[in-house]
């Protein structure tokens, strides 16, 4: 198992100072940042889109982990690639031709992931694992920060980890929703490679200290 990664979700950061927030993350030695893109259709909330990401890309070297919570994400792949996304993750529930959508992300030179809502079974991605860089296990219903972790997600993470091992795939497991310092270690031991944290990260500055505490929890 490689070193686990923490991807802070900007959803809980200061939207009026995104450039400053990104710089502060980089200064605190974070490597990834998680962008929650919401369209008010797939989820009730609305956040930001490609032009905002593109502007901020120019001044950041962080790995841009882009989580699309939008209907028919296939319509916007080109724009998110052009905006500088390093990884684009689409929801299985948001696109009819999931294989075509993830192939298109890879074809455009981006890493690709599939996110699963809590109630969506793992079988949805079983045939796709060889071509996926990541599967995102949603541990809350997407749309908002600060919700509590849904307990059955633990079983889903271990079952996905077993499925990936069985197939000899290299797919990474990301967990998003209700992640905290308290459950981070357990989630990694169940098989998570990347943890997303919004409220439990940004509400506790300074970021360097928070990041160190997370890494310590994640490395057991
Ligand atoms: C939820 C988003 C998450 C969210 C997590 O729709 O996908 O990335 O920001 O927030 P916390 O960590 O507060 O549950
Ligand atoms: Zn997210």
Question: Residue 38 CA: which ligand 1 atom is closest?
Answer: 6
Question: Can you tell me the distance from the alpha carbon of 131 to that of 140, in angstroms, rounded to the nearest whole number?
Answer: 25
- The answer to whether residue 1 scores a pLDDT higher than 80 is no
Homologous superfamily (CATH) for 5-218: Aldolase class I (3.20.20.70)
For residue 220, pLDDT over 90 is answered with no
> Residue by residue, what is the 3-state secondary structure of the chain?
CCCCEEEEEHHHCCHHHHHHHHHHHHHCCCCEEEEEEEECCCCCCECCCHHHHHHHHCCCCCEEEEEEECCCHHHCHHHHHHHCCCEEEEEHHHCCCHHHHHHHHHHCCCEEEEEECCCCCCHHHHCCHHHCCEEEEECCCCCCCCCCCCCCHHHHHHHHHHHHHHHCCCCEEEEECCCCHHHHHHHHHHCCCEEEECHHHHCCCCHHHHHHHHHHHHCC
Cβ–ligand 1 distance for 196 under 6 Å, the answer yes
pTM value is: 0.98
pLDDT bracket for residue 157 (50, 70, 90): very high
For ligand 1, is residue 180 a contact (CB within 6 Å)? Answer: no
Q: Report which protein residue has its CA nearest ligand 1's atom 7.
A: 142
Mean pLDDT of 59-74: 98
Q: Is 200 in the pocket of ligand 1 (CB under 6 A)?
A: yes
Q: Does the structure show a pLDDT above 80 at 147?
A: yes
| Residue 213 a catalytic site member | no
Check 36, 39, 65, 193 and give the catalytic one.
36
What pLDDT is attached to residue 2?
82
Pocket test for ligand 1, best of 6, 7, 8, 9 (most atoms within 8 A of CB): 9
Over the stretch 86-144, which tens digit does the pLDDT of each residue have? 999 999 999 999 999 999 999 999 999 999 999 999 999 999 999 999 999 999 999 99
- pLDDT per residue over 29-61, tens digit each? 999 999 999 999 999 999 999 999 999 999 999
Q: Is residue 176 annotated as a catalytic residue, yes or no?
A: yes
Number of other residues whose CB lies within 10 A of the CB of residue 167: 13
Retrieve residue 35's tokens: 């962008």
Closest to 28 measured CA to CA, from 207, 218, 216: 207
Determine the Cα–Cα distance for residues 8 and 94; give it in Å rounded to an integer. 23
Mean per-residue pLDDT over the chain, rounded:
98
Residue 161: the pLDDT is: 98
Would you list the domain boundaries of the chain? 5-218
Closest ligand 1 atom, residue 12 Cα: 9
How far is the CA of 18 from the CAs of 12, 26, 57, 94, in angstroms? 11, 12, 11, 27
- pLDDT of 154 over the 90 cut: yes
- Probe ligand 1: pick from 46, 89, 91, 176, max atoms within 8 Å of CB? 176
């Amino acid at each position: 198992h490689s070193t686990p990664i923490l991807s802070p979700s900007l959803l809980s950061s200061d939207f009026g100072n995104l450039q400053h927030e990104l710089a502060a993350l980089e200064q605190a030695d974070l490597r990834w940042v998680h962008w929650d893109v919401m369209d008010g259709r797939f989820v009730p909330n609305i956040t930001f889109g490609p032009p905002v990401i593109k502007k901020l890309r120019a001044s950041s070297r962080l790995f841009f982990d882009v989580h699309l919570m939008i209907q028919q994400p296939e319509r916007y792949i080109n724009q998110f690639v052009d905006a500088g996304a390093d990884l684009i993750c689409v929801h299985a529930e948001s696109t009819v031709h999931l294989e075509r959508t993830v192939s298109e992300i890879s074809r455009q030179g981006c890493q690709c992931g599939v996110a699963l809502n809590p109630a969506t079974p793992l079988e949805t991605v079983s045939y796709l694992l060889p071509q996926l860089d990541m599967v995102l296990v949603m541990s809350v219903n997407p749309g908002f920060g600060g919700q509590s972790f849904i307990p059955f997600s633990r079983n889903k993470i271990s079952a996905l980890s077993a499925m990936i091992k069985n197939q000899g795939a290299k797919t990474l497991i990301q967990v998003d929703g209700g992640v905290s310092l308290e459950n981070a270690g357990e989630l990694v031991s169940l098989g998570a490679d990347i943890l997303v944290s919004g409220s439990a990260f940004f509400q506790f500055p300074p970021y360097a200290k928070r990041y160190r505490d997370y890494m310590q929890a994640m490395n057991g």
